[in-house]
Every structure is written in C-alpha cells, then in structure tokens.
Chain A
Amino acid sequence: KAGVTQTPRYLIKTRGQQVTLSCSPISGHRSVSWYQQTPGQGLQFLFEYFSETQRNKGNFPGRFSGRQFSNSRSEMNVSTLELGDSALYLCASRPGTEVDTIYFGEGSWLTVV
C-alpha cells in the first residue's frame, strides 16, 4: 500500500509569489491534515479536511488555504509569500476518526528568498 505522497519535495519561491503544494493520502483515507514545521515554532497545525470539508483550522493568516477533492487528494496554497513561510510542510492522512493512527508524508521543503 502506497504511503502519503507529497509533491513537490523541494521548491524555491520569491517573496510575494504564491505556491501550491499537493498531497495524496493513503488509499481509503478520508482525512487529510497539514502541518508546518520550522526550527523556531516546531510543528504547528494548519488545517484538516474530511470528505472535502474543512473540519478544523489552526492559527494561521488567511494567506494559507487548502482544499480537498472528491478522491481525498488535497492541496494547500500560500499566497503573497513571506520569508517566514520557509518551512517543511507536512501532510498527514488517517482513515477518518480521531482514534486512528495518523501517517505523515515526507514533506515539501519550501524556501522563500
């Protein structure tokens, strides 16, 4: 069974640009969540989607958005990039309930210059 797949793995963007990251969950998983990891703040929750609906959202500005498609694949978008958005963005999936183990992808490394 394939794991959580994130693309692209590495990317460099310029301040002010926007970026879209993609995540394909494990087959059959309906919940997808996104986390940002930085040396300064550690791992922070961005949002979670379940059956195409945003179920929960962390404390990030509106520049951070996401969506989930009918096949459970998810994308997150960051507009008007700032230097502080440089981070490892991790996607995670689980079958759908809070009692389930959560599985993380390898992440997308975003560098903003």
Chain B
Amino acid sequence: KQEVTQIPAALSVPEGENLVLNCSFTDSAIYNLQWFRQDPGKGLTSLLLIQSSQREQTSGRLNASLDKSSGRSTLYIAASQPGDSATYLCAVNGDRGSTLGRLYFGRGTQLTVWP
C-alpha cells in the first residue's frame, strides 16, 4: 500500500529564508506527484505537478524535484514571504489497478513565515 510521508510536520521561519520541504513515498509505481497548498478551512490549491518521467518543475519562487526511483520529492521555496504561510501537501497519483486515479496524500508541512 502506498504511504506518503512529509518532513518536517511544522516549520516556522523569518521572512526571506529559502525553504526545503520533503516528501517520500513507498511505492515508485506512480503516474505523477503533485504539491498542494491548503489555507485554514479551505480547499487545496495545486502548486506544481511533476510527471513520473520528469525530474523537476518550476513556478515562480517554487521548484519541485522528483526522484522516482528513490521515492523522494522536495519542494523548494525561495525568498519566503508571510503570504506563504499555509499547509503544504504532497500527493502521488497511482498508475495501476486499484491505485489508478487516486491520490495518496502525506500529512502535510505546516509553514509559518513571520515578518
């Protein structure tokens, strides 16, 4: 069964710092990996999607990498801002049988960026 782990569970940093959030998964048979942001009481907003054949994706100050063979992904946030404060969730999309089309989520990293 696919299991997704995110480290750290919580992170509190001053504005301007560069951050790395980690995600690991146990089964490398994935279609893609997606990073989401969730603000308190809200739904999920997709940040980046990396296909299983890709190594990284970038969007603005965000960069996500994927090492499928080792079951790891990192989300790099450059020059963090207070508006980045949220919970960041990693999810992998299964690629076969009963896992096809379903997302397996980590528990998230709760990020606080203070001014």
Contact = CB atoms under 8 A, between A and B. Distances in A.
B101 A103 contact: no
Give the size range of A's interface with the partner: 20 to 34
Contacts, number: 59
B31 A48 contact: no
A43 B101 contact: no
Interface string A10-44: 00000000000000000000010101000000111
Contacts of B32: 98-99
A71 interface: no
A45 interface: yes
A55 B89 contact: no
Interface of B: 31-32, 34, 36, 41-46, 49, 51, 89, 91, 93, 95, 98, 100-108
B43 A98 contact: no
A91 to B, nearest CB: 9
Main secondary structure, interface of B, reads: strand
B98 A56 contact: yes
A101 B49 contact: yes
B42 to A, nearest CB: 6
Most buried by B among A33, A44, A50, A56: A56
Main secondary structure, interface of A, reads: strand
Closest 6 CB pairs of A and B: A43-B105, A104-B44, A104-B43, A45-B102, A106-B43, A98-B31
A31 B106 CA distance: 22
Nearest to A42: B107
B100 A56 contact: yes
A55 to B, nearest CB: 6
A44 B4 CA distance: 12
Given A48-B102, A98-B31, A104 B45 contact: yes
B102 A101 contact: no
Contact of B46 (A33, A50, A102, A107): A102
A58 interface: yes
Contacts of A92: 44
